[in-house]
Each structure stands twice: as structure tokens, then as C-alpha cells.
Amino acid sequence: MKGYFAVLLASLHAIGLHAQTDISQAASGSPPLFAVQSPPYDSPDSLLRLLSTAKAVLPDSTLAWAKALQQKAIGIGNVRLQAKALYIQAEAAKNTGRFLIGELFCEEGIALAQSISSDSLIAEGYNNRGNIRLQTGNFEGALADLRLSLGIRKRLGDSRGEGATLLNLGLLYYEMHNYAAAEAYLAECTKTSDEPLMLLNVLHTRANIAGEGGDFGKALQLDEQGLALCIRTNYPQKATMFYDNMANCCLFSGRPALARVYFQKCLSIDSAAGNIPYMADTYANLAELEKTLKHWKEAIRRANQSLVLSRSTASRQIELKGLSLKSDIFYRSGEKDSAYQYLLLAGSLKDSLRNAKAHGKADEFAVVYGLARKEAEIKELKQQKEIIELAAGKRNLLVAKRNAQMLSFGSLALLIAFAGIIGHKRQQAAQKRAAKNALLDAEQKERIRMARDVHDELGSGLSRISLVAGMAGRHVAGNVALDKDIATISNTSKELLDNMRDLIWVLDPENATLEELITRIREHCGDALESASGPTVFHIPEAIPDLQISREAQRNIFLTVKESVNNCMKYAGDCGMDVRVAIESTSLLIRLEDTGKGFDMVSAGSKGRGLHNMEERIAALGGHLSIDALIGRGTITTIQVPLETLSAKGALPLK
């Protein structure tokens, strides 16, 4: 959140905390003087106000202070304050990347809120947990939480809270690339709340949606409205996010000079606020701009400025961005040796970041697993104690009763004990099922992570092979045989890298939707046919059903389209292609028509299994593949698959 540190200084001063030096050090990347120390207030109310202000920029101190607040609340028996402290700890954990622990804090806070029947606190907990799940890509869980929060807040008439949840729903659908739904929730947010920061976030998100959709004029208009609102509501530091967006719109719409002006405005605001990491990021953006203009010396200078600042604040991701930029700039300017050196540095830093992230995730999982196991053990001991106490009470009662009553009360005691045992057994079975499901989910995520790690490792290696092959080609220029072999090595490494990216895409279950499949087909066709002289024309409907599809359908359809495009590139000659996608009432229709040389179907069928494999993949889905090709007239490939066979087994349309 650019420009936040200056706002925080003013807010902390207003509540009496004289800690400007510490906040300034936090802004520059140095550890604050009071980092993870005892809180400066004993009063729970004062501490709560401090935490509400400082949680975004001092997450580690906030965790320690919120725990202190929780202990004070427990000491005075204030359950509401306990829940508030847990929610603040959850947000601090989110801000430091410990999302699983953040969810646990939210769940504990929700349980406390339910114990005192505080609907407002329950809604706050669901909103916070939905926000955390949004950050981790658990869109289904986030949607469920945010809808629960919105329903409660509407019923309570909490317009401020309702606006916050509507904003989160808009951000959720924006991340899901469902821009129509995002716009609807953002519009409802502006009708519900007039809180300035909320309205600024709405304008910024709407500008991002317009920019990603290519409507740069609308994006710039929304950014101008945001700048005016920053001035009108006395939030000048927030202007930097609008200037940054305006700069990118100008850059992508072919107005680099104006983009440079807006990036300079970002630097002025960030410099005044002491936001060194954001300054480093803006310098990297300026380097990217100069690179597009082929101003190589200026691009290197800007990249060096970004590296100096990012290293001074240990902003490793921005440092990685700067190293990668320098490698690309040197490569494009013809300095291949320097490009290779910076590529190695970027690869080394990326490996270091990945290892650090893996260790952090392992530690977080160990904490979460330990907490869950400890809670389960405590719960089981309590249940056993209750069963023993119940049985003992029944035995004492039996002794005091007459012989006639002894039989009836004894039977009742046995029934109660039996019911308790049965309930305990059922609970144990439910816990085992939950643990098994959690393990299966963890295994699936681990498989995807391993596949992505393999992609990163091999992808980095293949990129280096391609770069080294290019350098070797330059050194042996004139030797036709070696030039040809080196070109083969370079092209093969690029093809392997593309195939690996396709494999990772197919493995990721988040991509198993009809919308993601059609988007991937469009991307592949556009990239593969980019160098063709003829145009690639797409006819794709704007409204695509939110339908989960089976992994088999995702793989078979994409590989069939990919094979068809490859055939066009190999045999059709330098030509254009018409890509048409239609979603009919009962089937999905994909039609690929090129304007090339065509081929002999009989001869092609006898030379290999390519066409047979395409037919078998579509037939396995209950669909139909037809290829109409004549020499001199081009080729038309038509794929038709019933919608009912596309759906994943047992899956429902996404809501």
C-alpha cells in the first residue's frame, strides 16, 4: 500500500505514540527500535487503537502486541476483546505470509464470537478469513466466507462493514477474472459506503479492470477520478497507486514519454514518504520503459538504481526483478556475456528465495499441525473425563435407591455410557476422515508444487542452454554445419520449455474450467502463429459458462488443438488462421481454418499416428473430430464435444 507510512505516522501521533523514528526505520527496511518488544500501553483500549493503526506496517510487533492484548482480555474476562485480538493476529500473520496460522486465529475468534452470540464479530471473522483465503487462491472458500459475512452485515444494517465485504467480493471476482461480477459488487459497494479509503480502492480496482481489458481511455479516466478524490479527502499518499496505473496504461498504449512523467510522480511521493521498496519497484518500471525504447544505457542506469534500493531494504523479489531486467537488457543490446552473468545471478537468487519459502511453509505447517493435534488430544481427554464422571455419578445414585429402582437406573446409566462411547467413536471416525481428506488435499498441492519446481529448475536450465547456444553460434559464425547443430539445440530447448509449461498448466486443477481452457487455446494459437504473415482471427463468445471440466477433457481438447496448430505451421506454409469457438445448448464447438496449401488426407494418414491420436482423444470424450483438407485450398479442423461429458465427475457449475 504505497504512501501508507506517512499516514501511519500521523495516526500514531494522534493517539500519543511518539515513535516516528521507529516507523521511519521500518519504511527504510531497518528493524524498528521497538520491533517485537513489549507494547507501550497497559490499557487494553489504547493498545487496541495502536494495533488497529500499526498492523499493516509492523506485522511482527503487531503479533506480539495482539497476544498481550489477548492475555489482558482473558484476565478481565472480556470475550469480545479476545476475539478482536485474535482477528488482529490473523491479519498480522497474513501480512507476513503465514496464511494457515491466520486462518486458525480467525476460526478461534469466530468460535469466541459465537459463544457470546455477537453477530457483528462473527461477520468480521468471516470477512477476515475470506480475505486470507482470497490471498491463498482458495476462491471457493473465500466466496463462502464473504457471502456469510455479507448476509449478517446486511441484516444488522452495518453499512460500513457491508461496504468492506462488498469490496472484498469485488476483489475476489477480479482475481477470478470475472470482471462483470467484480464491477457489480464494486458498484454496490459505492452505494453502500462513502468511506474515502474504500472508494479509493474501488476506483483503483475498476481502473485495473479497464486496463487489463485494453480500455486504456476508461482506465485513465478512473485514475483521474481517484487522484481528485485523494486531494479532496486529504489522502495525497494514495495518489501513487493511481499514477502507477496511469503510467502503465500510457506505456502499453504507446505513450512512453507520458508514462515516464507518471512514474516520476510516483517517485516523488514515495521519496517524501520514505517508501524505499516502492521507489525500487518504480525504478525497475522505468528501466522496463527505457528498454522498450531501446535506450540501453538509461535502462541499465535505472535498473542499477532499483538494485541499490532493493538490496538496502532486503526486498528480495524486487532485487530479482532488477537482475532479470539487466540480463534481458544486456541480451537485447547484444552484450550476451553480461546477459549470461546476470542470468546466473537471478537464478541463484531465485533458488535462494524458493528454499526460504519452502522452509517457511514447513515451519508453518508444523505449527498448524501441532496446534490441531494438541486441541484434538485435549478434546478427547475432556470427553473421556466426562464419560467417567457420568458413570461414577450414576453408580453413586444406584447405591442410594431402592432395589426396585436400582434396575431401571442401572439400565439408564448403561444406555448413557453406551451413547457416550458411540458418540466418541463417531467423533474419532469423523476426525480420521477429516485428517485423511486433509492429507489427500496436501498431497495434491504437493504434487502441483513439485511439478512447478521441476518446471522452474528445468526451465531455468533450458533457458540457459538456449542462451549459451546463441552465444556459441556467435563464436562459430561461418561454420554452416555447426550453425545448424547449434540452431537445432536452441530450437529443441525452446520446444521442451513450451511443452513443459503446457504440462504444468494441465496438471493445475485450478485450470480445469471451460473458461480457462478457452483462454489457454487463444493464448497458444496467438503465440504459435505470431510470426505468420497472415492474420490470426478469433471468434470467441464474451459470456462463457462457469463450468468445471474433467482433467481428461481439459487435456484431450487442448492437445488436439495444439496438434492441429502444429500441423498448420509445418505443412500449410506461411498463412493465416481463423479460430472460432461456439458454446451451443448441448455441445462445445471449436473450428480451426487455415488459408494454407492443404494436404492429402490419405497420404497423411499413412505416414504416422498424429491424426489418429487426435480422433481417439476426442472420441474418448464422446465427441467428433472432422478434418476437411484439399491440396491448394487449406484445411478446416472441427471439434465437437457434448457439454455433459466435459463436466468433471460429480462437479457442479461454479456459483
List pLDDT tens digits, range 263-316. Answer: 999 999 888 878 888 888 999 999 988 988 899 999 999 999 999 988 887 777
Q: Which strand ranges, in their side-by-side order, compose the sheet holding 587-594?
A: 536-539, 577-583, 587-594, 634-642, 624-630
With H, G, I as helix, E, B as strand and everything else as coil, classify residue 315. Answer: coil
The pLDDT value given to residue 147: 93
Please tell me the least confidently modeled range out of 3-17, 38-52, 517-531: 3-17
**390 pLDDT above the threshold of 60:** yes
The pLDDT value given to residue 623: 92
Cα 515 from Cα 546, distance rounded (Å): 7
pLDDT grade for 545, boundaries at 50, 70 and 90: confident
List pLDDT tens digits, range 155-197. Answer: 999 988 999 999 999 999 988 989 899 999 999 999 888 888 8
Cα 40 from Cα 37, distance rounded (Å): 9
Q: Cell match 481502473: residue? A: 207
Highest mean pLDDT among 128-132, 249-253, 316-320, 367-371: 128-132
pLDDT grade for 145, boundaries at 50, 70 and 90: very high
Cα 468 from Cα 337, distance rounded (Å): 9
| Alpha-carbon dihedral 598, 604, 610, 615, rounded to 10 degrees | 80
Please tell me the least confidently modeled range out of 17-26, 59-68, 235-244: 17-26
The pLDDT value given to residue 526: 84
pLDDT grade for 62, boundaries at 50, 70 and 90: low
Nearest residue to 33 via CA among 43, 51, 20: 20
**411 pLDDT above the threshold of 80:** no
Cβ 291 vs Cβ 299: under 8 Å: yes
The pLDDT value given to residue 87: 87
**55 pLDDT above the threshold of 50:** no
The pLDDT value given to residue 14: 36
CA angle 508, 509, 512 (to 5 degrees): 110
Query: Domains in the chain, please, with CATH?
Result: 1-117 (no CATH), 514-646 (3.30.565.10)
Cα 577 to the chain's mean position, in Å? 34
Please tell me the least confidently modeled range out of 36-45, 64-73, 103-112: 36-45
**557 pLDDT above the threshold of 50:** yes
Q: Where are the beta strands (DSSP E) in 478-618?
A: 536-539, 577-583, 587-594
pLDDT grade for 18, boundaries at 50, 70 and 90: very low
Cα 375 from Cα 512, distance rounded (Å): 36
pLDDT grade for 608, boundaries at 50, 70 and 90: low
The pLDDT value given to residue 126: 94
Highest mean pLDDT among 45-54, 448-457, 584-593, 602-611: 584-593
With H, G, I as helix, E, B as strand and everything else as coil, classify residue 384. Answer: helix
List pLDDT tens digits, range 479-499. Answer: 666 667 776 776 777 777 677
Cβ 100 vs Cβ 364: under 8 Å: yes
Q: Cell match 464419560: residue? A: 387
List pLDDT tens digits, range 326-380. Answer: 999 999 999 988 988 998 988 888 888 777 655 555 555 555 555 555 555 545 5
Amino acid, res. 470: G
The pLDDT value given to residue 26: 33
Highest mean pLDDT among 56-70, 76-90, 143-157, 262-276: 143-157
Phi, psi (degrees; rounded to nearest 5) at 117: 55, 40
pLDDT grade for 36, boundaries at 50, 70 and 90: very low
List pLDDT tens digits, range 418-456. Answer: 677 777 778 777 777 776 766 666 666 665 666 555 555
DSSP state of 238: G
Mean of per-residue pLDDT scores for the chain: 77
CA atoms within 13 A of residue 410's CA, in its CB half-sphere: 10
The pLDDT value given to residue 640: 92
Cβ 113 vs Cβ 150: under 8 Å: no
pLDDT grade for 652, boundaries at 50, 70 and 90: very low
Please tell me the least confidently modeled range out of 39-53, 133-147, 439-453, 503-517: 39-53
Count of other CB atoms within 10 angstroms of residue 15: 13
Q: Which residues on adjacent β-strands are paired with residue 635? A: 629
pLDDT grade for 146, boundaries at 50, 70 and 90: very high
Nearest residue to 103 via CA among 128, 120, 80: 128
**320 pLDDT above the threshold of 60:** yes
pLDDT grade for 653, boundaries at 50, 70 and 90: very low
pLDDT grade for 532, boundaries at 50, 70 and 90: confident
Nearest residue to 511 via CA among 561, 559, 550: 550
Cα 205 from Cα 202, distance rounded (Å): 5
Share of the chain above pLDDT 70, in %: 69
The pLDDT value given to residue 364: 53
**136 pLDDT above the threshold of 70:** yes
The pLDDT value given to residue 644: 86
The pLDDT value given to residue 569: 79
Count of other CB atoms within 10 angstroms of residue 536: 18
**564 pLDDT above the threshold of 90:** no
With H, G, I as helix, E, B as strand and everything else as coil, classify residue 263. Answer: helix
Share of the chain above pLDDT 90, in %: 20
